[in-house]
Chain A
């Protein structure tokens, strides 16, 4: 028989031992001026390699750590970054004069070699960030602080693109066997996918995938004297998938900042005296697109022909969507309905091209009858499993069913969603597109140009394979036009053509509410990335 008293005293002894050993493992007391920002969002960065995958959760970390030749101020105007100034001596060359005395986080100096190396790394076949150096063929070192970019084709908005071009230390990369970007598609594990060495305001102190990422402020940052500089010295970035848990954590003060509070909780958060909301329009449009390529849809009851190639059917769908109900119920007021595929504020945006088809069920039914589908047909609508897209899809499916297009929403986990679209394995889908460069060309080229396969980035996100020679011609002109006025004219025409053809069916521009505790000061950034160096904690 076991002696329970003995067992008990043994366990007490063990506990005492553990506790006393704890005394030796001292938890270092934080200095008084440490300001820790605890940040949460539903996503974890997929990788820390700045040149492997162009994904927003990754950008949210690496844009704190790595910098580009150019930067943007808090109003998103282009300002000098790691380059002091630049010139464009001829259409084929851009010259950048680099900022002196800049150091990487490991202490090594920043020179022209790093720029040349980073360009090569960005142009590597494994890189998914080639669009950040759109049109650049190669880089040439002139001296330690001067670099020339040689263009293979002109790019009038190169600086807008360059904002996403990140500079990595060449010495560090070669020392750690990270000269080429991580192979993101096969989930390769490389040194640079877990460690970083940039020049930015923060460095990565700890990286535990799916658990947390800890950033510490860079005391030697060249821009520490900036007027925009806040006072945060350390950031804990926590991925909290469950909406309810993320909200509970913010309300109870366990975290300071939530990037993506669910829409339905915003009203309650606004009423809470301890919470502040910073909201703004994200430079992003949520839109529907259609398979306009196949002769017969993959997922539809119509056989032998493709109803979505009929403009009247696409128009009927446009008339069937009650965008205000979606705004009011699904988005809880946090969206602005739009008819334009680029948001206001983007270079080339045209008010004229921003008109929606009004919500008119009768008109929609009439158009369907006219197109030869008086009893409608059935179709599958694909959408990602995140919110709000999944809810939008269900709502729109009901609206389309009510005009006769019996729509089944197919909600796909995000991990599978993009690869499904990339295989064109869809008939009708909901997606969103960010105007990352704040110029329309980026959107037009990716979504509306004829898909060119793997040849170039023309139409590389045009998964419905819409194709109109007139559109391609316009996009070609926009690409190389340096006269901004003329260029804006072409863009306006292309946007109007999108509206007439219903190449895509834009839905709305989301309003993003950042939620934070009252003692945090932060301004919304239209690319929905929280730049921690501007954050203040009181």
Chain B
């Protein structure tokens, strides 16, 4: 166990270094960082001074080391667009995005799993076919269109739910939460549905496929042969085995949701990291882009690591290096 954990941890660090290197390259190959930091009328002496203070007169590997050190301390420089430290901006926006992504993931599980089970067990029923076709429409509908239509229906025509922002938030230390006020919860509904659309369809299809696969295996056949009831077979054996990959994929998807929130946040003006990032792309605000990349990378790597550990604990058969399974 310990060896496994250490190996995984080392791999994660390597991945983070790779992501960090990409972010570092963003800084260094997209224009002169010194020129970005100083006013145009700065003198050559000013430039040299800043160059030195930033360690830019050092060889690149030393510079990269400095970048990593700064990154570890959360120092990614100043946003070119807003003129404020990037880390501060990200910390302010992080709770909004995380709350949105978590809610969407939860929706995905709560709706996707039952729908998946249903479509697997009642393969030929009319409802299953509707669900399946519906899920295909769900995958084919661009996220922003869903958002626009939801706003049009529920905010403008019916006037039930707010169309933008987070409502009132409560500050708990560094964390600002919208879960504790009525307006905060209401504001969450439409964005969460929009963002949750994809995970619902994905989880449903995944549960269905896994369930069908498991139902075909020998031991289920054996269980049936033993005379167990359908209910016991389906929920006692099949579902249990299905859920392992489902948790994994959902866990991995959480990272994807955080990144995917970019679109939802734009449509609903949700003040999260995604909105910050898209504005950074439009303005070529490299420090924000680099920091966002590192943060998302970190979240991904952490989730991957946790899922791997969970796997290890949950399923003894999988106590082999999953990496060797990666390239089947």
A positions within 8 Å CB-CB of B: 1-2, 4, 18-19, 21-22, 25, 27, 183, 185-189, 193-194, 208-211, 238, 240-242, 244-249, 251-254, 413, 415
Complex Cα spacing A253 to B161, Å: 10
Q: Which residues of A contact B83 (CB under 8 A)?
A: 187-189, 193
CB nearest neighbor in B for A184: B83
16 pairs, CB–CB < 8 Å, chain A vs chain B:
A4-B243, A27-B168, A186-B37, A186-B39, A186-B40, A188-B83, A189-B84, A208-B271, A210-B82, A238-B165, A242-B267, A245-B164, A245-B269, A246-B164, A251-B159, A252-B159
Q: Which residues of A contact B266 (CB under 8 A)?
A: 242
Contact A413 B271 (CB under 8 A): no
Contact B39 A210 (CB under 8 A): no
Given contacts A208-B92, A244-B148, 18 further A-B contacts (CB under 8 A): A1-B240, A18-B179, A22-B170, A27-B168, A186-B38, A186-B40, A194-B84, A209-B84, A210-B276, A210-B279, A238-B165, A240-B164, A240-B269, A245-B269, A246-B164, A249-B165, A251-B159, A254-B164
CB nearest neighbor in B for A23: B180
Closest 3 CB pairs of A and B: A187-B83, A186-B39, A248-B163
Chain B proximity of A459: nearest CB distance (Å): 21
Complex Cα spacing A415 to B163, Å: 27
In the complex, B314 has a CB within 8 A of chain A: yes
Interface residues of B in 258-272 (CB under 8 A from A): 266-269, 271
In the complex, B255 has a CB within 8 A of chain A: no
Complex Cα spacing A242 to B278, Å: 14
Contact B162 A2 (CB under 8 A): no
Given contacts A25-B170, A209-B84, contact A413 B282 (CB under 8 A): yes
> B314 is contacted by which of A1, A19, A193, A241 (Cβ under 8 Å)?
A1
Chain B proximity of A143: nearest CB distance (Å): 39
> B151 is contacted by which of A193, A244, A415 (Cβ under 8 Å)?
A244
Chain B proximity of A454: nearest CB distance (Å): 11
B positions within 8 Å CB-CB of A: 37-40, 78-85, 92, 148, 151-152, 155-156, 159, 162-165, 168, 170-172, 179-181, 240, 243, 247, 266-269, 271, 275-276, 279, 282-283, 310, 314-315
Q: Which residues of B contact A238 (CB under 8 A)?
A: 165
CB nearest neighbor in A for B283: A415
Contact A248 B282 (CB under 8 A): no
Q: Which residues of B contact A211 (CB under 8 A)?
A: 92, 271
Chain B proximity of A259: nearest CB distance (Å): 16
Q: Which residues of A contact B85 (CB under 8 A)?
A: 189
Complex Cα spacing A244 to B269, Å: 11
Q: Which residues of B contact A209 (CB under 8 A)?
A: 82, 84
CB nearest neighbor in A for B240: A1
Q: Which residues of B contact A189 (CB under 8 A)?
A: 78, 83-85
Contact A248 B151 (CB under 8 A): yes
Contact A252 B247 (CB under 8 A): no
Complex Cα spacing A274 to B163, Å: 18
Chain A proximity of B45: nearest CB distance (Å): 17
Contact B163 A252 (CB under 8 A): yes
Given contacts A240-B269, A244-B148, A245-B163, contact A2 B247 (CB under 8 A): yes
CB nearest neighbor in A for B88: A189
CB nearest neighbor in B for A208: B92
Given contacts A25-B170, A413-B282, contact A254 B179 (CB under 8 A): no
Contact B92 A241 (CB under 8 A): no
Chain A proximity of B297: nearest CB distance (Å): 24
**Of B37, B271, B276, most A-chain CB atoms within 10 Å:** B271
Given contacts A208-B92, A209-B84, A241-B269, contact A252 B180 (CB under 8 A): no
Complex Cα spacing A1 to B283, Å: 48
Complex Cα spacing A187 to B86, Å: 13
CB nearest neighbor in B for A7: B247
Given contacts A18-B179, A25-B170, A27-B181, contact A252 B81 (CB under 8 A): no
Complex Cα spacing A252 to B160, Å: 8
CB nearest neighbor in A for B162: A254
Q: Which residues of A contact B78 (CB under 8 A)?
A: 187, 189
Contact B269 A248 (CB under 8 A): no
Q: Which residues of B contact A21 (CB under 8 A)?
A: 172
Q: Which residues of A contact B168 (CB under 8 A)?
A: 27
Chain B proximity of A379: nearest CB distance (Å): 27
Q: Which residues of B contact A242 (CB under 8 A)?
A: 266-267, 269
Contact A248 B82 (CB under 8 A): no
Contact A185 B40 (CB under 8 A): yes
Chain B proximity of A193: nearest CB distance (Å): 7
CB nearest neighbor in A for B183: A254
> B268 is contacted by which of A2, A208, A245, A252 (Cβ under 8 Å)?
A245
CB nearest neighbor in A for B279: A210
Given contacts A1-B240, A2-B314, contact A210 B271 (CB under 8 A): yes
> B163 is contacted by which of A186, A210, A254 (Cβ under 8 Å)?
A254
Q: Which residues of A contact B314 (CB under 8 A)?
A: 1-2
Chain B proximity of A475: nearest CB distance (Å): 28
Q: Which residues of B contact A254 (CB under 8 A)?
A: 162-165
Q: Which residues of A contact B79 (CB under 8 A)?
A: 187
Complex Cα spacing A186 to B269, Å: 27
Complex Cα spacing A194 to B84, Å: 10
Q: Which residues of B contact A241 (CB under 8 A)?
A: 269
Q: Which residues of A contact B269 (CB under 8 A)?
A: 240-242, 245
Chain B proximity of A235: nearest CB distance (Å): 16
**Of B79, B84, B163, most A-chain CB atoms within 10 Å:** B163
Complex Cα spacing A63 to B38, Å: 30
Contact B276 A251 (CB under 8 A): no
Contact A245 B151 (CB under 8 A): yes
Complex Cα spacing A245 to B265, Å: 12
Complex Cα spacing A246 to B267, Å: 11
Contact B81 A187 (CB under 8 A): yes
CB nearest neighbor in B for A255: B164
Complex Cα spacing A185 to B37, Å: 11
CB nearest neighbor in A for B84: A189
Complex Cα spacing A524 to B235, Å: 67
Q: Which residues of A contact B151 (CB under 8 A)?
A: 244-245, 248
Chain A proximity of B158: nearest CB distance (Å): 9
Complex Cα spacing A413 to B240, Å: 54
Contact B155 A248 (CB under 8 A): yes
Chain B proximity of A257: nearest CB distance (Å): 15
Chain A proximity of B194: nearest CB distance (Å): 13
Contact A251 B156 (CB under 8 A): yes
CB nearest neighbor in A for B164: A245
CB nearest neighbor in A for B276: A210
Chain A proximity of B16: nearest CB distance (Å): 28
Contact B172 A25 (CB under 8 A): yes
Q: Which residues of A contact B180 (CB under 8 A)?
A: 19, 22, 25, 27
Chain B proximity of A227: nearest CB distance (Å): 34
